[in-house]
Structure 1
Amino acid sequence: MNPDLVLSLTTKALEVALMLAAPMLLFGLIAGLVVSIFQAVTQIQEMTLSFIPKILAVVIALVIFFPWMMDTMISFTINLFTNINSYIGK
């Protein structure tokens, strides 16, 4: 296994991990911004008010994007296992 192959596999793994995390992080960010704007407009400064909408937004994003996430993870794993012979020996 040469260093270029290791770097390539690591880059691809990090890329897949970021792609899988992005929808949930984006939904959480949007929910946090909406709650922050609501708190600024109404002058309600309750710290616990922001947690429930963020959690719900992340759960909704997980439910919506779960099939795509599973497909991405499965295709990455199948690609990894399919090419394992080329990774091990040369």
Structure 2
Amino acid sequence: MSPEIAIDLISESLHLVMLLVTLLVLPGLLVGLLVSLFQAATQINEQTMSFLPKLLVTLLVVGLMGRWMVGSLMDFCVSIFERAATLVG
């Protein structure tokens, strides 16, 4: 395997990982920011009030986008297996 192929493979896999992680983390981050602003405005310091909305939004994103995420991972895996013969030889 040449270094160019390895670099291409690693960059493609990191791109997919960053896309999937961003899809999961960004909505929770935005909801956490909104809840923190609300808590700062009302001076309520309840731990479950900050954790539960982030958990629910993350579960909602997984429920809505899970099929696409798994499909993307499966497409990447199939492309790796299809290129396996050229990568080794």
Give the TM-score normalised by structure 2. Answer: 0.92
1:1-90 aligned at under 5 Å gives the runs 1-89=1-89
Q: CA deviation at 1:58?
A: 0.7
RMSD of the alignment, in Å? 1.1
Q: Calculate the TM-score normalised by the size of structure 1.
A: 0.91
Provide the rounded CA distance (Å) in 2 between the counterparts of 1:54 and 1:23: 13
**Unaligned residue ranges in structure 1 (runs of 5+):** none
Q: Name the CA distance, whole Å, in 2 between partners of 1:64 and 1:22.
A: 15
Q: Which amino acid aligns with 2:59?
A: V
1-structure distance, mates of 2:26, 2:52: 16
Question: How far is the alpha carbon of 1:29 from its aligned partner?
Answer: 0.7
The Cα shift of 1:9 comes to 0.7
Identical counterparts, % of pairs: 34
Runs of 5+ consecutive residues of structure 2 not aligned to the other structure: none
1:4-38 per-residue CA deviation (whole Å, 9 max, x = no partner) reads: 11111111111111111111111111110110111
How far residue 49 of structure 1 moved from its aligned partner, in angstroms, is: 2.2
- Aligned with 2:22: secondary structure? helix
Equivalenced residues, count: 89
Which range is displaced more, 70-79 or 40-49? 40-49
Runs of 4+ in structure 1 off by over 4 angstroms are none
Question: C-alpha distance in 1, partners of 2:81/2:8?
Answer: 15
Distance 2:17 2:44 in 1: 36
